[in-house]
Structure 1
Amino acid sequence: MTPRQASTANCPSCDSDRRKLLGPIPAAVEFAGTPVDPIPGGQLWQCLGCSLWYRAPSLSKAQLDKLYDTGTAEAWETPLEERVDWSLAKSALPESGKILDLGCYDGRFLESIGERWDRYGIEVNRAAATRAGESGVKIVGHDFTALADNPASFDAITAFDIFEHVSDPLALLHACSESLRPGGKLIVATGNTDSFPFRLLKSRNAYCICAEHLVFLNPSWCDAAAGKTGLIVESIVRYRRATGGPARRALDSLKNVLFIAAPWLISSLRRIRGKVSHEEKLGYPVLWPTAMDHFLVQFTRETE
């Protein structure tokens, strides 16, 4: 059975009804690495008030939580050496302290920073949380509401590919700020809608097709939101999720430009090759791992 969706008329961040339609989002046939019945994608909107991109309608929190818990614990696993965001975050962290990783999965990032840190995590998938606990991570909850139980507790909070999973990113940013000690660091890594790939593909971007992705950030949104939550933007770094030389980057770009110009051709080639597991995927964009389409922002909690 296809999950029902909850309608959202206004921007989930600033509640503005001034918005621009960017296009229909294709249906998703996977969720957190698990095949599912097609989940309608809804529409992709851009808020003209705060610049946030968001999906509407979207699944309810209860539906999302159920899907997350049935997802595989390996859904977001990437070899350590390929995690550009983790490398950037490590260079921005203090030497030691008390750290919380939102959506810590199996705890590999926290494990990689060593025992000089007192390490905590929040993870919705119970199997992944169990594995994180076995690696020495103290799980404080399975939902971001657990932040409210830890006011002014942490020297650092990290959130890698997390903010796009919540319906109200401003509320999450505020909760993170409240959980930081004065002068504490919040590091957020996510997709960047200001990047060329997002502006080219819009609602057909693979990042938007993931049903678990509800909102899509950019540096302008972060700058504006920081002032509302007691945070200061210290730095913003744009990065590619995958390394590759000029030839690979050019080939990836060419494939996606071709997809925009002649999507029927990409679909036909996929059908001929017969390697697509689901009919919906015939119309999906070509993966673009070498695109400069992500950014990492470092916030600091204002001192009192």
Structure 2
Amino acid sequence: MPVCPVCDARLTTGLLAWHLQCPACTYEGSSLEPHILEQAHGGDLDEASREQGLEHLRQANFQRLNALLAGFAGPGDARPRLLEVGCAHGWFIETVSPRFDVTGIEPDVAVATATRARGLAVRGGFFPDVLADEERFDVIVFNDVLEHIPDVNATLAACWKHLLPGGHVLVNAPSRKGFLYRVSKILLKLGRGGAFDRMWQLGFPSPHVHYFDTASVTKLAGKAGFALESRSRLPSVAVRGLYARVRYSRDVSVIKALALTVAVTLIAPFLAILPPDIEVWILRRPS
């Protein structure tokens, strides 16, 4: 069994053969392996439906994150440099570009090519491989990305290297304490494992390999030399585009997608007061 990236205890098998739990801390992980570079021609997902299903939610959330970044500044009168790891369609880049000098990194070749074609500064490849040793940023952002990266400790160490003193890392990621995630566990124990599989993005080109909470993020940050500066929440569901979001996995039938859309739409008004399924953590490198 692999060891916990947070506390180095030996992980144990969780609710399924690929699901991992730490007996010593709150961390959950998986043995699922990314295959983002080995996708079938045209991609394993319906990218048009994915873009349609996520755009409204992501655009609204990126405006919220932009407000969180309002107080961050670069040296002197220079615009602060911001790096987004896993920038996908470039929506966050477009949101923060008026105030930041932004660079994006995207490993999906087709998505990176399409995003660059819109005139955005995007490098194809993986973080930190596509950066020069001397490159430094004021802010590094992971929007629904860190939970997909197997070696999270090496990633945070690379953030330290490529951040200026006093710089920040912003992470938003699924929370293991989220209401929908907890419901998916209950359904799995009742023999209905589809929601749990989808929460981990089983079968996707880049599945989830971690599920964090504030305790695990704080410990991971401390190991890399960062301090947790703040935490907040983001909505995980928007009714607009929800059907397309459910359907971008090619193995979801129309009937199942309709049923899931109706079910989530009914509970959506209550999600704002329930434990969040997406949390935001801002880490600071000391000056």
Q: TM-score scaled by structure 2?
A: 0.72
Q: Compared with structure 1, are the counterparts of its residues 274 and 81 closer, same or farther at alpha carbon in structure 2 (3 Å cutoff)? A: closer
TM-fit CA distance, 1:152: 5.5
Query: Which residue is equivalent to 2:255?
Result: 275
Of the three residues 93, 118, 121, the one matched with 1:138 is: 121
Helix, strand or coil: the match of 1:145? Answer: coil
What's the CA shift for 1:190?
Answer: 0.7
> Match of 1:22?
14
User: Runs of 5+ in structure 1 lacking a partner?
Assistant: 1-7, 25-41, 245-272
**Structure showing greater relative contact order (alpha-carbon pairs closer than 8 Å, 6 or more residues apart):** 2
After superposition, the Cα gap between the structure-2 partners of 1:68 and 1:221, relative to the gap in structure 1 and judged at 3 Å, is: farther
Q: Distance in 1 between matches of 2:201 and 2:284?
A: 32
Query: Any residues of structure 2 matched to 1:259-270 within 5 Å, and which?
Result: none
Distance 1:234 1:22, change over 3 A: same
Does the CA contact (< 8 Å) of 2:105 and 2:127 recur in 1?
yes
Q: What RMSD over aligned residues (CA atoms) do the two structures have, in Å? A: 3.2
Residue identity over aligned pairs, in percent, reads 23
Measure the CA separation in 1 of the matches of 2:237 and 2:130: 31
Superposed, which structure 2 residues align to 1:1-304 within 5 Å? 9-19=2-12, 21-24=13-16, 42-56=17-31, 58-59=32-33, 63-67=35-39, 71=43, 73-74=47-48, 76-77=50-51, 78-80=54-56, 83-93=59-69, 94=72, 96-146=79-129, 149-151=132-134, 153-202=136-185, 204=193, 205=196, 206-211=198-203, 212-242=207-237, 275-276=255-256, 287=264, 290=268, 291=271, 292-303=276-287
- SS at structure 1 position matched to 2:21: strand
Deviations 1:33-56 (A, max 9, x none): xxxxxxxxx432221334221113
Mapped to 1, the partners of 2:174 and 2:14 lie a distance apart of 17
**Cα distance in 2, alignment partners of residues 188 and 74 from structure 1:** 26
Q: Distance in 1 between matches of 2:38 and 2:15?
A: 27
- Mapped partners of 1:68, 1:161: distance in 2: 23
After TM superposition, where is structure 1 displaced by more than 6 Å over at least 4 residues in a row?
none
**Secondary structure of the corresponding residue to residue 101 of structure 1:** strand
Amino acid at match of 1:66: E
SS at match of 1:242: coil
Deviation at 1:176, TM superposition (A): 1.8
2:49 & 2:118 partners in 1: Cα distance? 18
User: More strand by proportion, 1 or 2?
Assistant: 1
Contact residue 46 and residue 53 of structure 1 kept, 8 A: yes
1:147–1:186: structure 2 CA closer, same or farther, 3 Å change rule? farther
TM-score of the superposed pair, with normalisation by structure 1: 0.68
Count of matched residue pairs? 242
Deviation at 1:225, TM superposition (A): 1.0
